[in-house]
Structure 1
């Protein structure tokens, strides 16, 4: 793949590169590293090398984005690009929602958030400030966002710019006994869980407190333990004994989840680094005709679900399923993913619009 990227760089410089493009790339890169100029004296030398590498890598990503967004692609260039897996190009870039936020903030817009609706295939950008400010920048923000998304080769999306809604809270948390009790239980957990861990109980740091519904009078405590830990009754009793000292009237229920640490780490790696890339690519390219995405990790196997817009009986259904499977497998089997995917078994399940598996 390195050879293909080298060809892409050389071809772009010969056919598209000019002073205006050069300035755009330099401006982007300088903006990206300007906050890292102040470093301790003893790190100056190593930083200069890092800075050069960062400039080179960032410049190429910007250059690649400019190329993908260009109107003209020669047959020679199309051949080179076709050898670079589409999902791998996404993997080398920031998540699109993050990229949108950073680009708009860099241009000075007052943005409070960005998100994506799978059902509508819509990117949302939320703007703060007055109505006057919103009316002034709405069109500009929409254009910048559309150009940024299109530069990745996406062609199946819409953009909606909305004004931040500000509402007065209906609940005064500080004076509400219900929420006060929840805080007290959480503080109690922060004391008892570390003590149990020090005593050798295999409890994970992921624990929490919540009410199962707005009207519920029960406080639920959840915590994860390793699947090799069998002393669940002792753990539950220790937690409830500590909570009793609070003398609150609300009933507290402890829910303990048994997890396999290795499998949990594997699922986290996939859900943070792999699946978002697959889902982003599948949802935003018309050729994949994707309606929805999802996954489940069961018995050590990662199951990736892609729901399409076609019916199982359509003539194109089988070919579309094969095309989707090939794109995802190409990505998962690439050098970029070796350190993450490893030997984890996986299945790619492509479904029709009604949720039926396309064989």
Structure 2
């Protein structure tokens, strides 16, 4: 669905926050814990919030909040625990685009890892699976230690998920004493060892030619009778000469019969990909994190004139609720991509996003 970039949203970085609102947030965690929130404060917040909203309408801008520049703990406590906040504050929290709230935050995996490390937990590995909607922590050293810390680790990760409005992922903390042990590899046959030596030498010789042409050697892959080469720009005009030089160099050492396949890239697309990937990661994490979106995964390709994404759902093209699910996904994406931060990233690039059913039918297309 095409849409117009009608109004750019501005952050509240230069917008004054009402004084009592700032005080309310700063004191919120402790005061609610003590049960001494004064209803008069909430009434005052309501009045100032509605005044604040009225001021917004006069400027004809749709404002959005990223942060109050206050304590991050208080801010999270306010937004996530808004079930007990006044109706005006709840309205304010709900006005923040969901995906935008994730855009400047750390990736989920990174946040969980830092939290575990900060508590000095001695775990073996941390895993995150989008397809399984799972965060997993494996312990492998001491079973007694595992049993001791398991409840705290589960609570730690569960609280992080709640703070990020992530209700789709589950937490699995488990013990596997054999996971960290090196498995004994069977002895390789002489034939396989010789083949590996040949492949390694073919890789070296191919790399020598690539260096002469000024290209990196990291993208070389060798299989029986085939050489795959990545990281060659589409602006390279000497493709045939380069292939010929590789073939001749291999023949000098007795390697014949290799077919060479080059995968070219557009330098402009690489720059575009570097800019837009953060948006892709935000959309992926945000849509897979909430059960209401019913998203199983998100993919992209950067080889077209457009940056193309596909959002894969778990609904069938024949499901009765497919329309409302698609509308929720569409609105979340549009709200995010129309923000000032996203528009700065997108610049003049064209994108296309398809929302797809589990039976591979396109349910909606979003374009700019």
Deviates more, 1:254-263 or 1:185-194: 185-194
In structure 1, the residue matched to 2:75 is 64
Q: Name whichever structure is richer in helix by fraction.
A: 1
Under a length normalisation based on structure 2, what TM-score does the superposition of the two structures give? Answer: 0.72
User: Higher relative contact order at CA 8 Å, sep ≥6: structure 1 or structure 2?
Assistant: 2
Query: Is contact 1:122–1:160 with CA below 8 Å preserved after alignment?
Result: yes
CA gap of 1:256–1:132, structure 2 versus 1, over 3 A, is same
Q: Is residue 366 of structure 2 the alignment partner of residue 354 of structure 1?
A: no
Alignment CA distance shift 1:61-1:188 (3 Å): farther
Q: Deviations over 1:133-169 (max 9, x none)?
A: 3333333222211111111111111011244443325
Aligned to 2:229: 222
The whole-number CA distance in structure 2 between the counterparts of 1:6 and 1:311 is 47
In 1, distance between residues paired with 2:19 and 2:309?
Answer: 34
Residues 172, 111 of structure 1: CA spacing in aligned structure 2 closer, same or farther, 3 A cutoff? farther
Partner Cα distance (2:167, 2:269) in 1 = 36
Counterpart in 2 of 1:159?
A: 171
> What root-mean-square deviation, in Å, do the aligned CA atoms of Structure 1 and Structure 2 show?
3.3
Larger radius of gyration: 2
Distance 1:66 1:250 in 2: 67
- How far 1:131 sits from its partner (Å)? 3.5
Q: How far has the Cα of 1:63 moved from its partner? A: 3.6
Q: What are the ranges of 5 or more consecutive residues in structure 2 without an aligned counterpart?
A: 1-9, 32-66
| CA–CA separation in structure 1 for the residues paired with 2:247 and 2:241 | 10
**C-alpha deviations, 1:57-78, integer Å up to 9, x for none?**
9965444333333252331112
5+ long unaligned stretches in structure 1: 22-55, 198-202, 212-216
Query: 2-side partners of 1:340 and 1:209: how far apart?
Result: 34
Paired with 2:194 and 2:287, the residues of 1 have a C-alpha distance of: 47
1:101–1:111 Cα contact (<8 Å) kept: no
User: What are the residue-to-residue correspondences of 1:118-133 with 2, within 5 Å?
Assistant: 118-133=130-145
Cα deviation for residue 105 of structure 1 reads: 0.7
Deviation digits for residues 15-53 of structure 1, max 9, x if unmatched? 5626869xxxxxxxxxxxxxxxxxxxxxxxxxxxxxxxx
Cα contact 1:68–1:153 (8 A) shared by 2: no
Residue 8 and residue 292 in structure 1: after superposition, are their counterparts in 2 closer, same or farther (change >3 A)?
farther
Is 1:142 paired with 2:148? Answer: no
Q: Give the alignment of 1:333-352 within 5 angstroms.
A: 333-352=338-357
The TM-score, its normalising length taken from structure 1, stands at 0.74
Structure-1 separation of matches of 2:96 and 2:270 = 31
Measure how far apart 1:6 and its partner are. Answer: 6.5
Deviations 1:171-203 (A, max 9, x none): 679x94444444444444444322211xxxxx4
Q: Equivalent residue for 2:314? A: 309
Counterpart CA distance in 2 for 1:8 and 1:324 is: 33
